[in-house]
């Protein structure tokens, strides 16, 4: 089956066969483990795990191509802006100064600042594969059933399932509207001035908003006609029980989170790894 942008495509592998609840727990635990710690060693460990899991999931690059571009731009700007506005923050954190070179008295490149900024970038980079795995390998209906099983209202669970289903459609609607507008002569390239490009972008977002509202109304009417919300409980066609692999995956992700906290509290004595002291 041809993989499309942000589409869920069912595959038979370990990651896909995990419950949506399991992937949610793993995503939260692994993401929090890298957000909590500033130890570059532990962050690299989680990053390697993320890449391994990403490879195991067999996600196609064309499904995430747009996200990779946007994330790359975000990371680049984040790196530059951090140095622009806080060029000595790393020195304040680590308490030492190892100068590499300087532009002037304010902008001094130090090992401490590089370590801080590289660690920060790796923190973000570690979470991206985890988010993509959760988004692209989770069956929305099965995920809603899993949430309902642990006590989440089936209305709230179904709303989350609709969100997961609608996100790829919204991306495709944006691309279709963008191509249609460009075929009519709308220029979104860098040849145009920034003000003109922003104005042209509005010609895409306005139809996208109305398309979204129409789809919401269509879904609402369909749910109302089917009697959604009439009863306090419902059955789930896509629901399935947790298996041994689910429990092992959750235990592993909880252990990684516990390891992050233990390293910060007992090994480093703080959230930061200080190799210069």
The CB density around residue 165, as the number of other CB atoms within 10 Å, is: 15
CA angle 197, 201, 206 (to 5 degrees): 155
pLDDT of residue 252: 95
pLDDT of residue 184: 76
Q: For residue 164, give Cα distances in angstroms to 72, 84, 97, 210.
A: 23, 37, 47, 20
pLDDT of residue 5: 52
Per-residue pLDDT of the chain (277 residues; tens, 9 = 90+): 444 555 666 677 888 888 888 988 999 999 999 989 889 999 999 999 998 998 888 887 777 777 788 888 888 888 898 888 888 888 888 888 888 888 877 888 888 889 999 999 999 888 888 888 888 888 887 888 877 777 777 777 777 777 777 776 777 777 787 788 777 777 666 666 767 767 777 777 777 787 777 777 777 777 776 666 676 777 777 677 788 999 999 999 999 999 999 998 888 888 888 887 6
pLDDT of residue 43: 92
Q: What is the DSSP letter of 109?
A: E
For residues 121-146, one letter each, b for 16 or more C-beta atoms within 10 angstroms of the residue's C-beta and e for the rest, the string is: bbbebbbbbbebbbbbbbbbbbbbbb
pLDDT of residue 247: 92
**Contact present, 233 and 145 (Cβ < 8 Å):** no
pLDDT of residue 1: 44
Continuous segment of H or E residues that includes residue 101 = strand 99-102
End-to-end C-alpha distance for the chain, whole angstroms: 54
pLDDT of residue 277: 66
CA angle 99, 102, 107 (to 5 degrees): 105
Q: What is the DSSP letter of 264?
A: I
SS3 content of the chain, % helix, strand, coil (to 5): 70, 5, 25
């Amino acid at each position: 089956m041809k993989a499309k942008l942000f589409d869920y495509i069912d595959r038979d592998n370990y990651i896909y066969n995990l419950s949506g609840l399991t992937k949610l727990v793993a995503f939260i635990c692994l993401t929090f483990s890298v957000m909590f710690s500033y130890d570059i060693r532990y962050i690299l460990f989680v990053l390697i795990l993320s890449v391994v899991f990403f490879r195991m999931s067999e996600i196609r690059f064309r499904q995430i191509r747009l996200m990779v571009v946007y994330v790359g731009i975000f990371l680049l700007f984040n790196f530059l802006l951090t140095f622009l506005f806080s060029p000595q923050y790393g020195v304040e954190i680590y308490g030492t100064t190892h100068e590499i070179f300087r532009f002037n008295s304010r902008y001094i490149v130090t090992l401490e600042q590089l370590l801080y900024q590289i660690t920060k970038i790796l923190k973000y980079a570690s979470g991206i594969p985890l988010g993509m795995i959760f988004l692209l390998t989770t069956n929305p209906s099965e995920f809603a059933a899993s949430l309902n099983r642990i006590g989440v209202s089936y209305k709230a669970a179904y709303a989350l399932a609709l969100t997961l289903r609608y996100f790829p459609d919204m991306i495709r609607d944006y691309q279709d509207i963008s191509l249609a507008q460009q075929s009519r002569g709308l220029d979104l390239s860098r040849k145009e001035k920034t003000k003109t490009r922003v104005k042209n972008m509005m010609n895409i977002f306005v139809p996208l908003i109305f398309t979204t509202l129409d789809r919401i109304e269509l879904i609402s009417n369909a749910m109302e006609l089917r009697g959604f919300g009439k009863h306090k409980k419902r059955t789930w066609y896509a629901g399935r029980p947790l298996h041994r692999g689910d429990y092992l995956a959750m235990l592993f992700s909880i252990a990684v989170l516990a390891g992050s906290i233990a390293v910060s509290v007992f090994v480093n004595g703080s959230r930061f790894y200080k190799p210069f002291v």
